[in-house]
Amino acid sequence: MKNCLVVDDSSVIRKVARRILEDLSFTITEAEDGQQALDCCQQQMPDAILLDWNMPVMDGLEFLSQLRKLDGGDAPKVVFCTTENDVSHIAKAIRAGANEYIMKPFDREIVEAKFQEVGLI
Amino acid sequence: MSPAEYDFLRQFLKTRSGLVLSNEKQYLIESRLLPVARKAGLASIAALVSKLRDPRETLLADAVVEAMTTNESFFFRDKVPFDHFNQLMLPQMLERRSARRQLRIWCAAASTGQEPYSIAMCLKEMGPKLAGWRVEIIGTDISNEVLDRAKAGVYTQFEVQRGLPIQNLLKYFTQTGDQWTISAELRSMVQWRKFNLLDSFASLGQFDIVFCRNVLIYFDQPTKADILNRIGKAMAPDGYMVLGAAETVVGLSDAFKPVADRRGLYAPTAGMATGSATAAAPRFAAGSAF
C-alpha cells in the first residue's frame, strides 16, 4: 500500500482528504504544518504528499523547497491543494518542484484525476 | 404526463435525434423538459407536447432535443484514447501522410469542446514534427448550446481540474476570476458545426481519425449499426476510429475491426490499403497551419 502524507492546518480538510485517499487505497499520515511534515519525511519518505500552501510555522512552499533538498526528497509526488488559485502561485509551485496542483474547493473526482495524472494510481 | 404524451415524446426524440428512452424515463423527461416548457411560456409537459405536434414549431423542437442531450465531458477523458492517439495514431499518420501533409480528425460528439481541445493540445505537444502540416479538427454536436460553449472555450475551475494536467493549464489557458479560457491558438485549430448523426455525412468529407465516444450508447441497435457503417464509409481505409469505454462495434457492424491491445480503438475492415483522405469538403477549407 502506498502512503500519502496529508499536510493541512485544517482538521476538516485533513479528514475529507483522508477519506478520499483511503478509498483510493492509500495509508495516511497527517501533519498540521510544513515543519511537522518535514519531520515526518525525515523519518520516512511517503509516496505522495497532499500539500496546503498557507499554514502556520512553515508554509507549503517552504516545506517543498526544503523537502526537495533532503536525501531521497525528490521521490515523493507532491500535489498542492490550496485556495491560492492564480497562475502566479501555480507557476511558483511547479518551479519549486510540485508535480500537480489542486485548486480548492476540490472533490473526489479531482483528487483521483490528479493522482492518476502523476502516476500514483 | 399521460402514457400517450410519453409515447409521443419517445417517438419524437427517436426520430429527431436517435435518442432511445426506456419505459421508465418519465422523471428524466420532466426534469429536463419542464424548464423548456416554462421558457416557452407553457405550463406543463402536456402543453409542450401539443405544441410539438405542430411541425412548424421547429425552434421548440430543437430546444427539446438539446435539453434531452447529455453533455458531460472532461479534458483527456479516460486518458487511454489519447495514449492511443499520441503513441500509435499520430506517429503512423505522420508517416503515412508524409507526402500530403494533411490530416482530418472528426469529433462526432464534441459536446462542450474538451475532446477536440485535448486533441489540439496533443498536436501542439508534437511540436516541430507537424510543421508545414494542415491538420483539421472538426467538432460536431447536435446541440447549439454546447457548441457555443465549446467555441467560447471558457471553463470553470472544476472543469479544468478533471483530466487536464496542470502544465497544460498553465500553457494553454488564461485566467479570469475562477474561469479559464483556452488560448486563441487552440481555439483556431478546431472548426465547429451543428450536426445530427442521423443525417448524411456526405457534406463532412473524408476523415483519417474519428472520435465517436459516448454517444452511440444513447441509440438503439439498428441506429448504432447504421452510424458505424456510415462512419466506415467516411473514413480513409488506413484510418482509425475511437469509441467510448462502454461501446463496441462487435455484433453491430462489419465495417470495423478492433485493434489488438488498444482498447476502444478500431480500424476500417476495408483497410490497410494505401489510400488516404481525399480533399476536404470545401466548407472546411480553412485548416490549421502548423
Report the share of chain B in percent with pLDDT over 70. 93
Domain ranges of chain A: 2-45+54-117
Amino acid, single-letter form, for residue A101: Y
Contact of B269 with B256, CB cutoff 8 Å: yes
Residue B233 in contact with partner chain A when CB distance is under 8 A: no
Contact at CB, A94 and B166, closer than 8 angstroms: yes
Mark whether B83 is an active-site residue: no
Q: Which of B32, B96, B101, B193 is catalytic?
A: B32
Mean of pLDDT over chain B: 91
Cβ atoms within 10 A of the Cβ of B196, count?
13
Round to whole Å and give the CA distance between B283 and B277.
16
Q: Which residues pair with B241 in a beta bridge?
A: B210, B266
Contact at CB, B166 and A101, closer than 8 angstroms: yes
Domain ranges of chain B: 3-67, 80-289
* pLDDT for position A105: 92
Q: C-alpha cell of A101?
A: 496542483
- CATH code for the domain defined by B3-67: 1.10.155.10
* pLDDT for position B290: 54
Higher model confidence: residue B98 or residue B1? B98
Contact of B202 with B284, CB cutoff 8 Å: no
**CATH class, range A2-45+54-117:** alpha beta
pLDDT mean over B249-270: 94
Round to whole Å and give the CA distance between B31 and B9.
14
Mark whether B32 is an active-site residue: yes
pLDDT band at A57 (very low <50, low <70, confident <90, very high): very high
Round to whole Å and give the CA distance between A78 and A5.
9
SS3 B28: helix
Q: Residues A10-28: pLDDT tens digits? A: 999 999 999 999 999 999 9
* pLDDT for position B273: 41
Q: Please list, residue by residue across B147-177, b when 16 or more beta carbons sit within 10 angstroms of its beta carbon and e when fewer do.
A: bebbeebbbebebbbbbbbbebbeebbebee
Round to whole Å and give the CA distance between B71 and B290.
30
Closest residue in chain B to residue A110, using alpha carbons only: B162
Closest residue in chain A to residue B75, using alpha carbons only: A113
pLDDT mean over B170-196: 96
What is the torsional sign of CA B1, B4, B7, B8?
A: negative
Question: To which residue does cell 405550463 refer?
Answer: B43
Q: Residues B112-131: pLDDT tens digits? A: 999 999 999 999 999 899 99
Protein fold of B80-289: Rossmann fold (3.40.50)
Contact at CB, A100 and B163, closer than 8 angstroms: no
Q: Please list, residue by residue across B93-102, b when 16 or more beta carbons sit within 10 angstroms of its beta carbon and e when fewer do.
A: beebbeeeeb
Round to whole Å and give the CA distance between B194 and A51.
43
Contact at CB, B166 and A86, closer than 8 angstroms: no
Contact at CB, B161 and A116, closer than 8 angstroms: no
Give the distance from residue B162's alpha carbon to the nearest chain A alpha carbon, in angstroms.
Answer: 5
Most confident of A25-34, B29-38, B241-250: A25-34
Window 163-182 of B, Cβ < 8 Å to A: 163, 165-167, 169-170, 174-175, 178
* pLDDT for position B289: 52
The C-alpha angle with vertex A14 and arms to A12 and A19, in degrees rounded to 5, equals 100
* pLDDT for position B108: 97
pLDDT band at B276 (very low <50, low <70, confident <90, very high): very low
